[in-house]
Amino acid sequence: MFFLSRSDLDKRFRQLRLELQQVGISEDLRGWNWNTPPVEPPLKNLFLPVSDLASRYCDSLRDIYLKRIERVYPPPGLKMVEGLVYHKVASEATLQVKKLLFEKGLISGSTLIDEIFPRATERCRLALEEAVRATKRLSEEEFMEGLEKTTNFYRFLIVQAAAQLDRILAKFPHADVDSVVNVAIPPVVERKVDGSLIGLSRELSVDIYAPAYAVADLKTGEVRGFHKYALTGYALALEADEEASVNFGVTIYAKMVLGRQTPTIGVKPFLIGDELRREFLEIRDNALEIIQNARDPGKPSVCPGYCPYYGVCG
């Protein structure tokens, strides 16, 4: 993600390493202990997406019951579609920059913009149409609103890539294409991870901030306290699958507003410590119990209006 400041993030992770040295992470809460409690899943034949567990709009987990037992699905809205498109657009921007550099060689940032910008709206329209097919048809007004915001986001990413490219070329005038791509392209890579050992989906897509080996997640909606759970689940899955320590997470918030061509960006790194790990595993175990027993846990004491199932539960 081209808008990430590597130096700024590395400074924050250095602070988190000091915190890690002070508090540590319990060995029995590492994902590689998938065959012993509390990491071992209570059911061996049921695997849940991280998003089902981590999206804790509903404190009682009634959303799990409605989706998995009653087969009731909330109507996807514009924000859900935009979230899918922003992820697609971020991936597409990285792909197009790499592709162009390997095809054209060491072009300047301005040339990069000239080459990619003409098809920006078309690429975003295709991504938006794909997301709509996977969810539902939006109104024409919602579609055009989403197209404007995602196109501006895509162009913002390309401009950041162009600026980064020029900085690298100015600093390393004799570097070859492969070296420039490795330095200029942000060190966030998507990796497929098998989470089945801990009761999660077999094919998770996890973004990793390579220098700190931290899991990363792009969010396009409001800041929610439960967003840390997704990265906690990914960290446990990575530890189970690769037996490598994953200590840190970083939630990246990107928000586009109509009429404004640049997003508001917020970055929140954090330690994936014992408390978060226990809370995520407790959510997983409760969800599996609800599904196993087809038990309706009932509505929570407070139902937030932004819960996708708010209208379903009445």
Q: What number is the average pLDDT over the span 6-18?
A: 86
User: Any idea where the domains of the chain sit in the sequence?
Assistant: 6-72+187-298, 78-184
Dump pLDDT digits (tens) for 94-109. Answer: 889 999 999 999 999 9
Residue 134: per-residue pLDDT: 67
Q: Say which range, 18-32, 58-72, 148-162, 198-212, has the weakest mean pLDDT.
A: 198-212
Is the previous residue joined to 38 through a cis bond, with omega within 30 degrees of 0? yes
pLDDT band at 28 (very low <50, low <70, confident <90, very high): very high
Residues forming a β-bridge with 131: none
Evaluate if residue 212 carries a pLDDT over 90: no
CA dihedral 148, 154, 155, 161 (to 10 degrees): 170
Contact call for residues 124 and 85 (beta carbons, < 8 A): yes
Pair 45, 196: CB distance under 8 Å: no
What DSSP letter does each residue of 118-176 carry, written as one string?
GGHHHHHHHHHHHHHHHS-PPPHHHHHHHHHHHHHHHHHHHHHHHHHHHHHHHH-TT--
Mean pLDDT over 131-154 rounds to 83
Rounded to an integer, what distance in angstroms lies between the CA atom of residue 137 and that of residue 135?
Answer: 7
